[in-house]
Every structure is written in structure tokens, then in C-alpha cells.
Amino acid sequence: MSAVIDTPRPGQDRARFLQTNTATREPWLVRLVLLVLGVGFFAIFLLLPLITVFVEALRKGLDTYGWAIHDSDVLSSIGLTFLTVLFVVPLNVLFGLAAGWAIAKFEFRGKQILITLIDLPFSVSPVIAGLSYMLVFGARGWLGPWLIDHDLKVMFAVPGIVMATTFVTFPFVARELISLMQSQGREEEEAAVVLGASGLATFVRVTLPNIRWGLIYGVILCNARAMGEFGAVSVVSGHIRGETNTLPLEVEILYNEYNFAGAFAVASFLCVLALVTLLVKWWVERRVHSGDAS
Amino acid sequence: MSLPRSRRVLPGFTPTLLWTLIWLTAVVLLPLSAVFLKASSLNAAAFADAAFSPRVLASYRLSFGASLIAASINTVFGVILAWNLVRYDFPGKRAVDALVDLPFALPTAVAGIALSALYSPNGWIGGLLAPFGIKVAFTPLGVLVALIFIGLPFVVRTVQPILEDFDTEYEEAAASLGAGRLATARHVILPALMPAVATGFAMAFARAVGEYGSVIFIAGNIPKVSEITPLLIITKLEQYDYAGATAIAAVMLVVSFILLLIINLLQARVAARGSRHA
Amino acid sequence: MSIRISSIHKQFGTFTALDSVTLDFPRGELVALLGPSGCGKTTLLRIIAGLETADSGEVFLDGREASNSSVRERQVGFVFQHYALFRHMTVFENVAFGLRMKPRAERPSDSDIRRRVHELLDLVQLDWLAERYPAQLSGGQRQRIALARALAVEPQVLLLDEPFGALDAKVRKELRRWLRRLHDDLHISSIFVTHDQEEALEVADRIVVMNHGKVEQQGTPEEVYSHPASPFVYHFLGSVNFFHGRVEGNALQVGDTDLGPNDSEELNAGDHFVACSRPHELELVPADSASAGLLVKVSRLFRFGALARLELDGQGEQAGQIYEAEVPLTSVDALALQEGSLVRIRAGALRVFPAAAPDEVLATNPVAPVSVAPGPGLASAVNA
């Protein structure tokens, strides 16, 4: 708990307070210029592209949506995207819980290196992630011949898409849980054990309730990235229409076919999902940061 | 990594650590090591040919150059925006605060087509710039615009919490010692923010260097002019030139590792700074 | 439950937390483990609880070897330094947790749990908070709930880690009286860790003073305070003046001043010593007095009712040393002392310990209660 912040997050009150305090107040002209620069930059680089998507999608009227939701390729790409998420998110949750427990509740050497390695996928280009899977599972990769012999298809198929997406979303749940569980320490778990709780009971009744908002937060971020991943999936998918095209890949194909209305219709659907993600994230964030237990 | 020497009070250390290590190795370390193994199977000449040909060098220049400029622009405006969000009250502030994360949540392909529509000669901004002879879409400028889009939240989100935790007492002390606002900003606030700003810059830069989806739609992808390195890797792959793709990837991975190292060091400094203020 | 600790050793890397510690905790007593931070007291408490495993040595609970039994089997109640209340559970659920975790065969019925929890909450006088969450409680309330939670499983021994450390001074004082009364009512063997000498003296039946992983002394508060076994214990429990010197003939010589005859059997002529005297044990004699005494200058003088407290600066060889004396106001007035006056001090009571050789000198920090490395010359550690 930080004793420094006098008001919790959104900070409206704090901002107001700071502007009445002569020591922390700027002249109104300075304030205006900074606001115009900051918010203006935000409007041009973030807000306008968002608005563009909806304007372009509605340019031809609502009919485009009618077409898009009846198009079998679009439908199958929606299905594939959700299928991918269905695999990737639970895998990341499982990993995040294991990593959080091992790293936050125990002391061992090499911990800091382990944390750094978990963060590694954040700084690797998704394209390189896709390439590295090709080198392992592709027809000419390490496991290629063996996979062909056993008639298993990984690249240019759903398993490859799931794996590449797992790579790019790898740190999302884990880093959220590791830092949260580290900040919570292990006293509560020790107290539970002293009071006679088994390991499983301790985890389910003490640890899990304490990290649930952090877990949900990580899942939201992971989910958004998993649905939107483009570079890595682009390499391993093979772009087979109706089979291995996720929603973002479908956007690319429609766009490259000059079906702009269709591309923007699908894009606007993804935009709505992104906005819902931000809304839920904003709401969960307030719960995580307020430390509200009830 | 040393295993427990004595009985531990909480159970589950060995299985969870094992699972963490196995999963990390299988998903991240093994595939990445495949890149280096493959690259090391090339002889030096072939490697240099693939990784340092004029077309590839031009793509490095573009990718790293545009990323550097984008991260710098984002650093300036990201700090201002974070300052706005923490220090000022303005209508729609909550919406702005929530939407800053849009690039995290929005699929990059969607961002890509939106930006190229916006900056094409008949788009809203492209149309405004066209009379001045400024072309953005299908030029290196377009690459820059896309990289600014995806990098902005990194700076805002690393600086904002530090600014929120920044105790007013420091500024009050500065004011009581006769410093004006500008002097206070320069000598008191900015130095305290520096590690966070540097971290945000490094993260935005790292992300931009590897970015693919949002760039390819607006870049035009003209070899030696507006072709980024990740795209070049994909192009080589599509021509079944695995060796060439891998050589370029190995170079980029080394840069990524160095960036990761720098980010980690910076973050350690942010953490140290934070505890000093607490 | 009686507890016996037998030559326990615990090492963290290169740091020795406990160095072959052997202790007995008789049944029903309230014992304080007292020492500066890093002295190993918390580690010892956690080893007794089974939260930490010793590298070597044994723990006997009621005469039975317990080193290999798990925390869950030991039937200890543990109150954590920061209470470790489950933040997502109400106060009621926190206290009920231990009962709900019992094996099915021993688990009380829901109504029994309810009754038992309310009894405990009554005992700690906080029944009205049953539905609150820990975040909604004050520090003192959390402390008492943590105690109720530990008591719920009817432990054989109660272990408390710095139970009052995180509370402000007023609440702390209140709670320690309350803990003392609770212990008198329940008569459960209890051990608490503290670095606050006043707390240990006021609350405990017995005090174990620890330093650098070793037991320096144990005994009743009266014994430990009045008859400290080492300069460290002197220093740690209350204010003390240190006089470093050498035995010459049969006299305790500090510089060129004779502090009195050597009546210690441990010290022979030529040995270095450190002599300890509490501020109220010092006497003031006129500076020009023929009788021996250490010459000092009054640097500050405070009057407290019938008492005066003086800060005194060493002179000559002892320059730079500060002493503290607490004397009846009458003796200050009799000597007409004021700030700047010269006066001699004599120790009415003096305990002498052998000290290290002069070249192992360490300047003692006059404020923080740190371990004392006795050396020659005069130093004073005043622990107000």
C-alpha cells in the first residue's frame, strides 16, 4: 500500500488539488499549451484512426455488415480466432499460476534471470517468433520429417497458429501474477498452513481469491493480443481461406482484394472488441489498484 | 538454479518450478535457439550475403531509424500526455486515459488499414497534406506514423504511475527555495522521471523495431525505400529462402536481447527510485 | 506445552542467524525474546513454529522431538508481524478458518464454529466487527483479530512475532497490558519476539536477550535489568555509562583516575576492562575534591521535579566522551552546578567486565542500541 498517494487512481481530485496549490500550479497559458499538445497528439494519432475505421466501415451503409456476417470465410475466421483464444488463454493461465507460485512464494537462485526470460517474447518481433516455429515444425525444420511421417500437421494448421500465439502472449498473465504475488508476500499462506490448511486448501482458499483480479487483468490483456496477433500468425498460418485465416488475416486479405468495405466491416468488429477490452480493463484496473477485497 | 535444501513450509515448489522451466523452454527458448543454430550453420560469406546485402541494410536503416525517431517523438508527447492525465482536469479525461491503451488492444492489422486510409492522398489527413506536397502513405513517413501509433502507450504507461506517486512535497520544497515552475520542472521533476522515461523510450523502440502488422499496409513496401526488416524476413520465407530469413532474424534477435538487457537495467533503476521516494 | 531448544544452528548463506542456541521454555510462561534486529530472534520463533527448518539441533515439544513434524502437526498458534489476516475474508471467516481446516472427523459443526468464533471475538472484545474486512480495521484491531484467529485452534503454545511493532505508541501500551491480562486468564505458554526493552520488561515473565545469534542472558525482568550479564545486556536494557580502562595493581584505572578497587575475580592486574554504571548510579563530587572521581564538565542540565539529568563531557584523556547522570536535584544545588561547571563523577555501583585489547578499538554509537565492542578509553552509550 502506498502512503504517498493521497487520492486513488483516476485522480480527478488530486489534479484539482494540484492546480490550486501555488507550488504545483502552472500559469493557465502553459497549461493550455501542454493540454493542446498532449491531447492533440492523442487525438491525431490514436483517436482519428479509430474513428476512421467506423467511418470507412459505414461508408457503404449497413449492408456491408449484412454481407460480412454471411460470408463463410469471415465466419470461419471468427471461429478460428475464438478457437485459438480458447487454447491460448488457459495455457497461459496455467503457466502464469505455476510461475507466480514458484517465483513469488519461494527463494531460489537465478530467479531474476527466470523473470527476464519470461519477459523475452515482449522484445522479440512476432515475425521472428513465427519464423522460429517454422524452423522447428516446418517441413524442413527439426521435427518436420517426423511430423510428416506421422501425418501430423502443425505448420499451416491450427496447432501452429495456437503455438505462435502462445509465444507472443507468453508473458501477459505470468508477469501480472508474478508481480502481484510478490507484492503480497507469503505471510497469508504461512498463516493458513499454521492454522492447519493443506497445500491445496491454502492455494484455493487464500492465494486464488487474493490474485483473482490480477488474473482477470492478465487474461484480458492476453485475450486481446491473442485475438489480434498478426505478424507471428501470418508466418505460420499459410493463409488458407476458410481454414487457417484468423480475423486479422482476413482483414488483410479483404483489403488486398480491394474489398475495402468488407475489410473495414471486419476491422470495426475487432475495434468494438478492443473497446470492450479497454472498458473491462479499466474497470478491473480500478479494483486491482484500490485493493478492494470485498 | 538451486533446488530446496530443506523441507519447505509451503508445498508445490518443485512441480511449479519444473512446469515453468519446461514450458518456458518448449515455447520460447527452443524455437529461438533454432534461429541461432540455423544461422550458425551458414558459412560467414553466406551469412554476410544474406544479412548484410544492400537491400537488407536499407531495411535495417529504415526499421531502426524510424523506430528511433518514433520512440523519440513518443517520449516527448507521451510525457506531456502523462502530465496532462495526472496534473490537469479536462473534459473527457477518463476516456482519454482509457483509450491511451488502444494500441495494446487493437489488432495491428486494423491499425494498419485505418492509418493507410487516413493518410492516403484522399484520406482526411493525407488530403490535408497533399496540397503541400507531403506524402505520408507509401513512404518512409508512413512507417513512422504507424510506429508512433503502436509505441505511444509504452511511454505514457511507464511515466504516469511515477508521476502519480511523485510527492508534492518535492515541488513545494523547490518553490519554497525560490525555484520557478520551469526550474522546478527541469531540476526536480524531470530528473525523478528520467529512469521511467528511458524505460518507456526503450520499450517503445523495442516494440517498433519488431512491428509488422500496422506498418505493411501504410508503408508501400518499396525495396530499399519503405521496406521494413520484418517484412523482408517474411518475403524471404515466402521464397523458401529459410537461410536468408534466419540470418536477418539472428541479427534482429541479438539487437532485441541487448534492448531487453537495457530495459531490465532501467527498470531496476525505476524500482530503486520508487523505493527512495516511498 | 513446554518447549526445549537444543543446540539449534541456522545459517543463511554466510550469515549465521542462530549459533547453537539451547533454551528451555517452561509451561505456562510468557517469555520475551529480546534483541536488536538481525539477532536471530524471529528465526528462532519460526523454527519453533516449524515455518523454518534448522540446519542442526532439535526442538522438543512437551519432551517429544518435533524437528521432523510439519507446521500443521505442531499445534502452535502464530501471530505474524503484519498479522497476515486473509484480506478477502471477513473477520468472522478469518477466525473460523482454522476450525474449518480441521480434518472432517474433528471438524466442529457450523453452529459450533459460529459459537466458538463469537466467543473468541468476545474475548478480544471485537465481536461487533465480525462482518468487517481486515482493510476496514485499525492496526490494534487487526492485531487482536490475528490473536483470536491463532487461539481458535486451541494451540498448545502461542508464538507472536513483534506483536506490537507496527502500532503507534499509545495503542502499543494499551495492547501489551491487555496481552498480559489475556495470558493470565488463559495460561497458555507464549513466546513473543520484540526489540523493545520496555515492552519485554513490562509484559514478560521471563526475558531471553539475544545478540548475533546467541543467547546473552535469560532470567526474570528484574534479574536481567538489575544484573546484566554483559555490557551488551547493560546497553540494551536501559541507559548506561561505559568506562574503559585497565587494572593497575588492585585499582580500576581509567586514564589517571582511580575508579575504585578491583573486586572481580576474572580480572588480574594489567587486564583491560569495561565498567558499566547506570545514570542514576553515578554520584557527583566537587571538582576540587580530594577523593577520586572522573573530572567532567556539565554540558547540559535538565531539571525534572526532584531529579536532575546531566549531560557531561569527558576532560583530558577522556575528551569527546559523553556521560549521563541522574541525581537528586539537591546534590546539583549543593554543588551550585550550572552548564559549564566542572565536577567529578564517581560510580556508586559499578559492574566490571573483561574487555578486548586496546588496539581493537571501536567507537560506540551513543544513540542506537547496537552491540558493544568494549575497548580502552572512555565511551558512553546512552540509551534513552
Residues B54 and B106 grouped into a single domain: yes
Considering its fold, how many domains does chain B have in total?
2
Contact B6 C53 (CB under 8 A): yes
Residues B269 and B198 grouped into a single domain: yes
Contact A119 B260 (CB under 8 A): yes
pLDDT digits 0-9 by tens, A171-203: 999 999 999 999 988 999 999 999 989 889 999
Residue B4 falls within a domain, yes or no? Answer: no
Q: What is the dihedral angle through the alpha carbons of A256, A260, A261, A266, rounded to the nearest 10 degrees?
A: 50
pLDDT digits 0-9 by tens, C221-266: 999 998 899 889 998 888 888 888 888 888 888 877 888 887 777 8
Residues B63 and B26 grouped into a single domain: no
Least CB-CB distance to B101: which of A12, A235, A278? Answer: A278
Residue B173 falls within a domain, yes or no? Answer: yes
Residues B130 and B146 grouped into a single domain: yes
Which comes out higher in pLDDT, residue C167 or A40?
A40
Least CB-CB distance to A101: which of B12, B38, B103? Answer: B12
Closest alpha carbon to C26 in C216, C161, C208, C163:
C208
Contact A221, B104 (CB under 8 A): yes
Q: Is the ipTM of this complex over 0.95?
A: no
Contact A5 B165 (CB under 8 A): yes
Residues B176 and B262 grouped into a single domain: yes
Per-residue model confidence (pLDDT) at position C70: 82
Residue B3 falls within a domain, yes or no? Answer: no
Which chain B residue has the Cα nearest residue C71?
Answer: B9
Residues B172 and B231 grouped into a single domain: yes
Name all contacts of A57-63 with Cβ < 8 Å and 24+ positions apart: A57/A261, A57/A264, A57/A265, A57/A267, A57/A268, A58/A268, A59/A261, A59/A264, A60/A261
Per-residue DSSP letter, C255: T
- The chains in contact with chain B, meaning 3 or more Cβ pairs closer than 8 Å, are A, C
Scored b (16 or more CB within 10 A) or e, B192-206 reads: bbebbbbbbbbbbbb
pLDDT digits 0-9 by tens, A55-97: 988 887 787 787 777 788 888 999 999 999 999 999 999 999 9
Per-residue model confidence (pLDDT) at position A66: 78
Q: Which residues of A touch B263 (CB under 8 A)?
A: 123
Chain B nearest-CA distance from C8, in A, is: 15
Domain with B24, as residue range(s), is 9-39
Residues B164 and B78 grouped into a single domain: yes
Least CB-CB distance to C86: which of A188, A196, A294? Answer: A188
Which chain C residue has the Cα nearest residue A210?
Answer: C88
Residue B224 falls within a domain, yes or no? Answer: yes
Residues B22 and B121 grouped into a single domain: no
Q: Residue B194 belongs to a domain with what CATH number?
A: 1.10.3720.10
Residue B1 falls within a domain, yes or no? Answer: no
| Strand ranges for C119-271 from DSSP E | 157-161, 189-194, 206-211, 214-219, 240-248, 251-254, 257-261
Chain B nearest-CA distance from A98, in A, is: 5
Residue B2 falls within a domain, yes or no? Answer: no
Query: Where does residue C222 rank: exposed (0-12), middle (13-18), buried (19+ CB within 10 A)?
Result: exposed
Chain B nearest-CA distance from C51, in A, is: 6
Per-residue model confidence (pLDDT) at position C285: 87
Return the residue in A180, A183, A193, A195 with the most chain C beta carbons within 10 A, the one to mutate for interface testing. A195
Q: Which residues of C touch B9 (CB under 8 A)?
A: 50-52, 70-71
Closest alpha carbon to C380 in C342, C348, C357, C347:
C347
Least CB-CB distance to C82: which of A187, A194, A196? Answer: A187
Residue B186 falls within a domain, yes or no? Answer: yes
Does the pLDDT of residue B2 top 60, yes or no?
no
Which chain A residue has the Cα nearest residue B29?
Answer: A117
Does the pLDDT of residue A153 top 90, yes or no?
no
Contact C101 A196 (CB under 8 A): yes
Residue B19 falls within a domain, yes or no? Answer: yes
Residues B26 and B118 grouped into a single domain: no
Residues B255 and B119 grouped into a single domain: yes
Per-residue model confidence (pLDDT) at position C245: 86
Residues B33 and B169 grouped into a single domain: no
* Per-residue pLDDT band at B3 (split at 50, 70, 90): very low
Which chain C residue has the Cα nearest residue A190?
Answer: C51
Contact A230 B249 (CB under 8 A): no
Does the pLDDT of residue B228 top 90, yes or no?
yes
- The average pLDDT across B96-116 equals 93
Residues B207 and B263 grouped into a single domain: yes
